[in-house]
């Protein structure tokens, strides 16, 4: 699958955004040949498994300009890099503890001229800054993740969803959600990705919105 899959679901992108989306695959192919951040086999489904999956968040919420977002455990830059393309007036901070992954993120962001992306090698627990949202792609158990980022979320919301965590997860995690909700009284809403996309890949995936009342 190529970048046309993205344009099918996001038809209103500017010409510059389309160029940046099209640049993603060759950039990641280049850097993946040097520093393995994406499974070689998975690169065949790059736009489906990585780019469109990341952009599911943009189907749920259109971030207002000035919103600040932490991508915690960004890996090679997902979901942060695709979201930064869609929301150039939103500030993204991409964090990961592994140096080589942050190197790839920085190189990709520089090549795409993404002025709204900052990347740092740091453990999320060590961050002193707070953000409107924390996004991530299932880096660990949700209960553990909320413990890591609980103090990193600003209380005052200015978007259609309350400030909190937007976590890309698989379905069938009821116990995990229950444990998380009981911990510090988090509120949880789930949104199946099949609401937004037709591909079979998304039938078992969802966005989990975790927030305080």
Q: Which of 1, 4, 10, 3 is nearest to 196 (CA)?
A: 10
Whole-prediction pTM: 0.96
Q: Report pLDDT for 182.
A: 87
Which run of H or of E encompasses 168?
strand 164-170
Q: Which domains does the chain have, with CATH numbers?
A: 4-211 (3.40.50.150)
Q: For position 1, what pLDDT does the model report?
A: 65
pLDDT of residue 75: 94
Spatial contact of 153 and 130, defined as CB atoms under 8 Å apart: yes
Q: What pLDDT does 211 receive?
A: 95
Length of the chain, in residues: 213
Q: Which residues contact 26 (CB under 8 A, 6 or more apart)?
A: none
For residues 56 and 197, the answer to whether their CB atoms sit within 8 Å is yes
Pairing of strands 68-72, 164-170: unpaired
Contacts with 54 (C-beta within 8 Å, 6 or more apart), sequence order: 78, 79, 80, 81, 82, 83, 137, 168
pLDDT for 192: 98
Q: How far apart are alpha carbons 16 and 88 in whole angstroms?
A: 11
Nearest to 119 by CA among 100, 106, 108: 106
From first to last of its 213 residues, what are the pLDDT tens digits of the chain? Answer: 699 999 999 999 999 999 999 999 999 999 988 988 888 778 889 999 999 999 999 999 999 999 999 999 999 999 999 999 999 999 999 999 999 999 999 999 999 999 999 999 999 999 999 999 999 998 899 999 999 999 999 999 999 999 999 999 999 999 999 999 987 789 999 999 999 999 999 999 999 999 987
Task: Assign 169 to helix, strand or coil.
Answer: strand
């Amino acid at each position: 699958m190529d970048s046309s899959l993205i344009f099918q679901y996001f038809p209103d992108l500017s010409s510059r955004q389309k160029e940046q989306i099209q640049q993603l695959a060759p950039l990641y192919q280049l850097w993946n040949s040097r520093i393995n951040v994406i499974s070689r086999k998975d690169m065949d489904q790059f736009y489906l498994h990585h780019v469109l999956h990341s952009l599911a968040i943009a189907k749920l919420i259109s971030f207002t300009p000035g919103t600040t977002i932490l991508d915690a455990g960004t890996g090679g830059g997902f979901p942060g890099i695709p979201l930064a393309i869609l929301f150039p007036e939103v500030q993204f901070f991409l964090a990961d503890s592994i140096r080589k992954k942050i190197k790839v993120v920085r190189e990709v962001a520089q090549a795409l001229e993404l002025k709204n992306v900052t990347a740092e090698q740091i453990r999320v627990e060590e961050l002193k800054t707070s953000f409107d949202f924390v996004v991530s792609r299932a880096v660990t158990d949700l209960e553990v993740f909320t413990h890591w980022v609980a103090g990193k979320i600003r209380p005052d919301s200015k978007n259609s969803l309350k400030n909190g965590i937007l976590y890309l997860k698989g379905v069938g995690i009821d116990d995990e959600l229950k444990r998380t909700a009981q911990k510090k009284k988090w509120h949880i809403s789930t949104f199946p990705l099949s609401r937004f996309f037709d591909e079979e890949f998304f039938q078992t995936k969802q966005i989990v919105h975790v927030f305080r009342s």
